[in-house]
Amino acid sequence: MVARIVTIPLRPGSRPEFAKAIEKVIPLLRTHKGFLDEIALVTSDGKIGFGISFWDSKESAEAYNRSGYSDVMKALGPVVAGLVQLQLCEVINSTAHKIATAVNA
Protein backbone atom coordinates (compact mmCIF):
# COMPACT_ATOMS: atom_id res chain seq x y z
CA MET A 1 0.00 0.00 0.00
CA VAL A 2 1.23 3.51 -0.75
CA ALA A 3 0.18 6.98 0.32
CA ARG A 4 0.26 10.16 -1.71
CA ILE A 5 0.79 13.09 0.63
CA VAL A 6 -0.12 16.42 -0.90
CA THR A 7 0.82 19.59 1.00
CA ILE A 8 -1.29 22.59 -0.03
CA PRO A 9 -0.65 26.16 1.08
CA LEU A 10 -4.12 27.65 1.62
CA ARG A 11 -5.41 31.14 0.97
CA PRO A 12 -6.22 33.04 4.19
CA GLY A 13 -9.65 32.13 5.54
CA SER A 14 -10.23 29.35 3.01
CA ARG A 15 -10.49 26.45 5.46
CA PRO A 16 -14.28 26.03 4.95
CA GLU A 17 -13.88 26.14 1.16
CA PHE A 18 -11.05 23.58 1.37
CA ALA A 19 -13.34 21.22 3.29
CA LYS A 20 -16.10 21.65 0.68
CA ALA A 21 -13.64 21.09 -2.17
CA ILE A 22 -12.40 17.87 -0.56
CA GLU A 23 -16.00 16.62 -0.41
CA LYS A 24 -16.19 17.14 -4.18
CA VAL A 25 -12.78 15.53 -4.75
CA ILE A 26 -13.50 12.24 -2.97
CA PRO A 27 -15.99 10.99 -5.61
CA LEU A 28 -13.35 11.76 -8.27
CA LEU A 29 -10.79 9.70 -6.39
CA ARG A 30 -13.18 6.77 -6.06
CA THR A 31 -13.35 6.44 -9.85
CA HIS A 32 -9.65 5.55 -10.05
CA LYS A 33 -8.44 1.96 -9.91
CA GLY A 34 -6.60 1.17 -6.71
CA PHE A 35 -7.92 4.06 -4.61
CA LEU A 36 -8.52 2.99 -1.01
CA ASP A 37 -9.04 6.00 1.24
CA GLU A 38 -8.51 9.75 1.70
CA ILE A 39 -7.70 11.77 4.80
CA ALA A 40 -7.73 15.57 4.67
CA LEU A 41 -6.12 17.71 7.36
CA VAL A 42 -5.68 21.44 8.00
CA THR A 43 -3.18 23.04 10.37
CA SER A 44 -4.67 24.80 13.38
CA ASP A 45 -3.80 28.19 11.89
CA GLY A 46 -5.56 27.26 8.62
CA LYS A 47 -2.52 28.01 6.48
CA ILE A 48 -1.73 24.51 5.19
CA GLY A 49 -3.94 21.66 4.06
CA PHE A 50 -2.85 18.08 3.60
CA GLY A 51 -4.46 15.41 1.48
CA ILE A 52 -3.34 11.87 2.19
CA SER A 53 -4.71 9.32 -0.23
CA PHE A 54 -4.08 5.60 0.08
CA TRP A 55 -3.59 3.35 -2.94
CA ASP A 56 -3.27 -0.40 -3.36
CA SER A 57 0.03 -0.07 -5.25
CA LYS A 58 2.61 2.39 -6.46
CA GLU A 59 1.44 1.71 -10.02
CA SER A 60 -2.15 2.74 -9.18
CA ALA A 61 -0.99 5.93 -7.47
CA GLU A 62 1.23 6.82 -10.41
CA ALA A 63 -1.57 6.09 -12.91
CA TYR A 64 -3.86 8.43 -10.96
CA ASN A 65 -1.11 11.07 -10.97
CA ARG A 66 -1.02 10.91 -14.77
CA SER A 67 -4.78 10.75 -15.38
CA GLY A 68 -6.76 12.30 -12.53
CA TYR A 69 -4.60 14.56 -10.40
CA SER A 70 -5.08 17.59 -12.65
CA ASP A 71 -8.88 17.39 -12.22
CA VAL A 72 -8.49 17.31 -8.46
CA MET A 73 -6.14 20.29 -8.52
CA LYS A 74 -8.67 22.22 -10.63
CA ALA A 75 -11.29 21.60 -7.93
CA LEU A 76 -8.88 22.78 -5.23
CA GLY A 77 -7.55 25.71 -7.27
CA PRO A 78 -9.63 28.46 -5.61
CA VAL A 79 -8.12 27.70 -2.18
CA VAL A 80 -4.50 27.13 -3.20
CA ALA A 81 -2.11 29.96 -2.29
CA GLY A 82 1.21 28.67 -3.58
CA LEU A 83 3.26 25.72 -4.70
CA VAL A 84 1.67 22.35 -3.95
CA GLN A 85 4.08 19.60 -2.89
CA LEU A 86 3.62 15.86 -3.47
CA GLN A 87 5.30 12.93 -1.79
CA LEU A 88 4.72 9.24 -2.49
CA CYS A 89 5.35 7.02 0.54
CA GLU A 90 5.16 3.32 1.26
CA VAL A 91 2.72 2.58 4.08
CA ILE A 92 4.52 0.45 6.64
CA ASN A 93 1.87 0.53 9.37
CA SER A 94 -1.73 1.68 9.69
CA THR A 95 -3.92 0.97 12.68
CA ALA A 96 -7.02 2.21 10.86
CA HIS A 97 -6.56 -0.31 8.07
CA LYS A 98 -5.75 -3.07 10.54
CA ILE A 99 -9.00 -2.33 12.39
CA ALA A 100 -10.95 -2.62 9.14
CA THR A 101 -9.21 -5.91 8.37
CA ALA A 102 -9.90 -7.27 11.87
CA VAL A 103 -13.58 -6.32 11.69
CA ASN A 104 -13.95 -8.11 8.36
CA ALA A 105 -12.17 -11.25 9.60
What residue segments make up the domains of the chain, in order of their start? 2-104
- State the DSSP code for 43: -
Task: Determine what percent of the chain is predicted with pLDDT higher than 90.
Answer: 73
The CA-CA-CA angle for residues 25, 40, 97, to 5°, reads: 100
CATH class of 2-104: alpha beta
pLDDT at 92 over 90: no
Helix (H) / strand (E) containing 97:
helix 95-104
Average pLDDT, the chain: 89
Select the highest-mean-pLDDT range: 55-64, 68-77, 93-102: 55-64
- For 66-91, the three-class secondary structure string (H helix, E strand, C coil) is HHCHHHHHHHHHHHECCCCEEEEEEC
Q: Which of 32-41, 42-51, 70-79 has the lowest mean pLDDT?
A: 70-79
